[in-house]
Amino acid sequence: MSTVLTLAAVPATAALLAAGWNRVRTIGRSALVVLALLSVVAAVAVQVNRLTEAYPTEAVAATTAAGSSGSEMLSVTVRGPASGLSMPMFVYLPAAYRSGGGHFPVIEALHGYPGTPLTWLRKLNVQSSLDRETAAGRIAPTVVLFPYQTPERLLDTECTNLHDGPQTETFLTVDVPAYAATHFRVRTDRAAWGLTGYSAGAFCAINLSLRHPQQYAAAASLSGYAEPGINVGDGSQNTTNNPAWRLRHLPQPAIALWLGWAADDKESAHDSRRLAAEIHRPLASTTAVVAHGGHSSAVWRQMEAPAFDWLSAHLARPLP
Amino acid sequence: MTLTGLPLLALTVAATVAAGAATVWSWPRGGRLRPVSRTAGVLLVEVLVVLTAGLAVNRHEQFYPSWQALRGDTGTVAVADHLRAGSLDARMHSSRFPWRPPELTAWHLTGPPTVALPRDYRARPDVTFPVVLVLTAPGEHARHTPEAVTVTLTPTATTTAAALRSLPTALGHDLRVAAAGWDVVGAGPLPAAFVAAEPPGFAVLNQPTGDLPPALAAPLRLPSNGRPT
């Protein structure tokens, strides 16, 4: 609706400017010009928002089920006592979760910036992709969590604990796992937990897995970066919150990383190759390169199924 | 003309300036069609301004480095690995049997390893199974893990980790087994040396069987070199 309204407003205000110009004086003409400019700015803002899903415009159903016995996508709110943050989260429950018992492996899937988890749900069609891979037997039934990493929509946290700011790292690595363990039948051991993400979320997946190898066994990066590109406030963007620095200067943990990028996505390709070159035992790495597509949803749609397949092969299986 | 090149950006800047000048020039002209020509001029300038700004941002951020990328064409397709049947799949009469691959003599074991298959091995011909490799002392019984292909072998004093490096390939030839995430069970230096000799992530020493990966169908893969597929 907002798209139609804002796009219709552009020719309407242009016509108003054209028709009204000779009927009003300076103040009126200025108002017409401002109105025309505002309509263009509004139309552009709505389209940029559609692209990034930073401020979702349509309400999302609390529960999206793929058939009565299929998978479910739940919408929950995680109130995190450790971080003090309270944010929404989407939870994918595989069909096997609804039909039987047991405890399932978990993947935390992180979104880019600006953005929200709705990009996973809408642009990347993640529920269909997970259903398809599970039905084909290429991934074991897995609970996938889609938390927010932006307490304020236009505050880029890169999933770090900002100095004197939101404690997003604590939210994602303490509060979200605790919520999942309390509310869902999930495995709580490290071998069954993995991370993934696209763009800034891919940086998050790499950085959090390197920082918390006692919690995550594997991580898959879809067009990620070697550095956070923000000021964390304590200088750690150059050291402990900088995967390139960590791989060079700290002992590498015994985890597995999947690094995917598009060959024409210059910054991510450069950073991912740089990380891959630094990796050595006991850290294991796998690389995957899409021929072209830049830094876009088309690339991530191409990558998500291979990344989830790889993650499932590197995580522990569901337990009865 | 490339999407992120200067020529296209210069062209849209020039077009914006020209459209702006034309709109100003035609503003007092046009007779009865003046509202129409004015509206068209304003819209044209607005579209060109947005287009120029979009191209400038895209040139800086490289979201869409090419026209192909803008169309959503990645030039790449993820394809499922080929799952090859094990050479013993059709010839097995029991879920537990002595394994005699051609490489056996080079391993200097006390005898052929014992292979124990998961119960559903035959019922699931489209998946590869995780592996538990058990190195035992003489006299110990062969192990069985319900969810994994379990290989129990008894090394001698002349068995080396270097010689055993051919074991994963041999097992992969004979049975449908995972190419990573093996659980190597045993005490002493040989199991540790075997794990250390393999690529990182291939095997873990003495991990709980609950940590084994699932039995899975051949995964979808992307090329590692970025060549179009």
What ipTM score was computed for the predicted complex, to two decimals? 0.90
Band of pLDDT at residue A59, cut at 50, 70 and 90: low
Please answer yes or no on whether A302 and B224 come within 8 Å at the CB atom.
no
What separation, in Å, do the N-terminal and C-terminal C-alpha atoms of chain B show?
25
* B58 and B103, same domain (yes or no): no
Q: Tell me, what's the pLDDT at A56?
A: 76
Specify the length of chain B in residues. 229
- When the pLDDT of each residue in chain B is averaged and rounded to a whole number, the result is 93
Q: Is residue B15 part of a domain?
A: yes
Whether B3 has its CB under 8 Å from any CB of chain A: the answer is no
Overall average pLDDT of the B31-41 stretch = 91
Give the helix/strand (H/E) hosting B133: strand B131-135
**Cβ atoms of residues A222 and A199 within 8 Å:** yes
Minimum-distance CB partner of B226 among A18, A137, A290: A290
B149 and B47 part of one domain: no
Query: Looking at the structure, do residues B186 and B106 belong to the same domain, yes or no?
Result: yes
Is residue B13 domain-shared with residue B100, that is, in the same domain? no
Beta bridge partners of B97: B115
Q: Which residues contact A78 (CB under 8 A, 6 or more apart)?
A: A86, A87, A88, A89, A147, A171, A175, A176, A179
pLDDT for residue A62 is more than 70: no
Q: If pLDDT is split at 50, 70 and 90, which confidence band does A3 have?
A: confident
Structural domain span for residue B191: 96-211
Residues A74-108: tens digit of each pLDDT: 999 999 999 999 999 999 999 999 887 899 999 99
Q: Is residue B227 part of a domain?
A: no
Interface of B with A in 52-71 (CB under 8 A): 61-66, 68-69
Residue B80: inside a domain, yes or no? no
pLDDT in tens, B98-149: 999 999 999 999 999 999 999 999 999 999 999 999 999 888 888 899 999 9
- The pair of structure tokens assigned to B88 is 């013993």
Q: Which residues of B touch A137 (CB under 8 A)?
A: 126-127, 216-217
**CATH code for the part of the protein at A63-313:** 3.40.50.1820
Closest partner residue to B69 among A21, A138, A293, by Cβ? A293
- Give the pLDDT band of residue A68 (cuts 50, 70, 90): low
pLDDT category at A52 given cuts 50, 70, 90 is: confident
Instruction: Please state the domain count of chain B.
Output: 2
CA distance A39 to A6: 6
Report the chain B residue with the minimal C-alpha distance to residue A261: B226
B152-168 residue pLDDT tens: 999 999 999 999 999 99
User: pLDDT digits over A215-231, tens only?
Assistant: 999 999 999 999 999 99
Average pLDDT over residues B74-81: 89
Interface probe, candidates A47, A138, A311, chain B, greatest B C-beta count within 10 A: A138
Residues B103 and B176 in one domain: yes
Are B47 and B108 within one domain? no
In which element (H, E) is residue A52 found?
Answer: helix A26-52
pLDDT at B223: 86
H helices, E strands: number in chain A? 11, 9
Same domain (yes/no): B207, B100: yes
- Using a CB–CB cutoff of 8 Å, tell me whether B166 touches chain A: no
Q: What is the mean pLDDT of residues B185-208?
A: 94
Judging by beta carbons within 10 Å of its beta carbon (0-12, 13-18, 19+), is residue A265 exposed, middle or buried? buried
For residues B127 and B57, membership in a common domain is answered with no
B33 touches chain A (CB under 8 A): no
The C-alpha atoms of residue A209 and residue A193 are separated, in whole angstroms, by 10
CB B12 within 8 A of CB B51: yes
CA torsion A212-A217-A222-A224 (nearest 10°) is: 30
Residue B221 sits at the chain A interface (C-beta within 8 Å)? yes
Nearest chain B CA: its distance from A222 CA (Å): 12
Residue of A nearest to B130 (CA): A313
Q: Is residue B120 part of a domain?
A: yes
Is B159 in the same domain as B54?
no
DSSP state of A174: I
Under 8 Å between Cβ of A172 and A134:
no
Cα torsion for A46, A51, A57, A59, to the nearest 10°? 170
Of residues A210, A178, A206, the one with CA closest to residue A106: A178
Alpha-helix runs per DSSP H in chain B: 6-26, 34-61, 67-70, 104-107, 161-164, 167-174, 189-197
- pLDDT for A127-161, tens place per residue? 999 999 999 999 999 999 999 999 998 899 999 99
Q: Are residues B194 and B119 in the same domain?
A: yes
pLDDT band at A267 (very low <50, low <70, confident <90, very high): very high
> How many residues are recorded in chain A?
320
- Asked whether the beta carbons of residue B74 and residue A40 sit closer than 8 angstroms, the reply is no
Please tell me the distance in Å from A84's CA to the nearest CA on chain B.
33
pLDDT band at A64 (very low <50, low <70, confident <90, very high): low
The amino acid present at A311, given as its one-letter code, is L
DSSP designation for B129? B
pLDDT exceeds 70 at position B80: yes
pLDDT at A54 over 90: no
Q: Residue B12 falls within a domain, yes or no? A: yes
Question: Same domain for B126 and B44?
Answer: no
Q: Is A277 exposed, middle or buried (0-12, 13-18, 19+ CB in 10 A)?
A: exposed
Residue B229 in any domain: the answer is no
A40, A50, A252: which to substitute to probe chain B, counting the most B Cβ within 10 Å?
A40
- B205 and B154 in a single domain? The answer is yes
* A284–B69 C-beta distance less than 8 A: no
- d(C-alpha B200, C-alpha A314), whole Å: 12
Exposure string over A199-237, b if 16+ CB within 10 A, otherwise e: bbbbbbbbbbbbbbbebbbbbbbbbbbbbbebebeeebb
* Helix, strand, coil percentages, rounded to 5, for chain B: 35, 15, 50
